[in-house]
Structures are given as C-alpha cells and as structure tokens.
Amino acid sequence: MFAVHKSIVPIYDTIARINLFLSLTDTPIAARVMRGGFLFPNIERNIMSKTTGRIYIPHLKQHVVTPALNYLELGGARAINMVTGTFLAEGYTAGYTYLKQLGNGPALGPEQMEPATHNDIWKIFLSSTKRAALEARLRNIAGSFSTDGNGIPKPEVLTGNLFYAAAMCRVFYLRIPEALPFGATSKKKERKIEN
C-alpha cells in the first residue's frame, strides 16, 4: 500500500466505512450493524465483531493509536480513525492481524508499511529541521534497542511496537497533501462548530 502514493486512494472508501463502524461501536445500533454486515459487503463478517486478530478494536483505538498520535501532537478524531482504519484495511485478513506481509512481500506492521517507505520517511521527510521535534518523539516511541548506526529505528520495529507503527502510519499521511477523510462523527461535530 505505502509504496505508491496513488495506491492509497482506493482504500479511502473502505477506511470511510471503517470510520463509520468505529464511530458506532459503542452505540446500540452497533449490534445491528455488526449482524447485518451492510457496511462491508466485500470484507468478511469477522471484521464486524469489534475484534481484529484478537485485538479488541476500541482498545486498539483508545490504548494504542490515540496515545501514540497524541504524543506526536498529531491526534484528533480524523487522524485516529484514519490510522485505526488503515490497521484494519491493510493488516487484517481472515480473522488475523498480520505483522508481516503474506507471501514474499516486504510490508511490515499492522499498517503494512514497506521498509523503503519507512526509510524514505526518515531520510527525506524527517530530515528537515522544522520536523526535529517530530523526529525526536518518533525516536522516543521506537526506543533504542533496534536502530541503525545513525540511531534511526529499523523498519522491523513496526512489527513489535504498535505505538511506533501507529505513529509512523500517521507520519506517512502527513506527506500526502489531501485532507484526511471525515469520519461519520467528525463531520457532525465540525458542522456544529462551524454553525
């Protein structure tokens, strides 16, 4: 997914549907949505069970994605739903969350980021002095046990550190000029604020 910029456009619809589901997970309608499966006609029903590969989706969102993005100071409902949706759209298949791309593919982590993309983010995007604070926060999240000679986290950290995977997924989306898609609840909240 992350190797070619234009390849993310087709998943925006899937992520928008996941965002809608995520906004409904704690409501009475969620049970009907999960039983009906109408939001995800082309994705197996297991995704509607509020778990992904035995990770409870609200916990993933509240205890992994939200704190990681807030630590980066890049949180908010749209960003949190986008990263959570990416985890579900990219790393989830047939009831399992994959930390390495199936087959011989290079992608790593629940967001399925390729090592080339990971390294490009560090070498190009984060090399700007205006992003020094963001770079320091990413280093803190990643830890120091698996770094290269320059102290940059190795791509393999994406497989064992969910906070780092969420943070890198968010930084990936910073490189894309289009605005993050609205979630179902985000649109309503922003409309109320504007009025």
State the Cα–Cα distance between residues 9 and 49, nearest whole angstrom: 26
Amino acid 93: pLDDT: 74
Question: Within a domain: residue 68?
Answer: yes
**Residue 155 main-chain phi, psi, to 5 deg:** -55, -30
Q: What is the pTM of this model?
A: 0.70
Q: Which two tokens stand for residue 110?
A: 């629940």
State the Cα–Cα distance between residues 72 and 65, nearest whole angstrom: 11
Task: Count helices and strands (H / E) in the chain.
Answer: 10, 4
pLDDT per residue as tens digits for the range 145-173: 899 988 999 999 999 999 999 999 999 99
**Does the CA dihedral 3-175-67-9 come out positive or negative?**
negative
Q: How many domains does the chain have?
A: 1
Question: Within a domain: residue 1?
Answer: no
Low-confidence ranges of the chain (pLDDT < 70): 1-54, 183-195
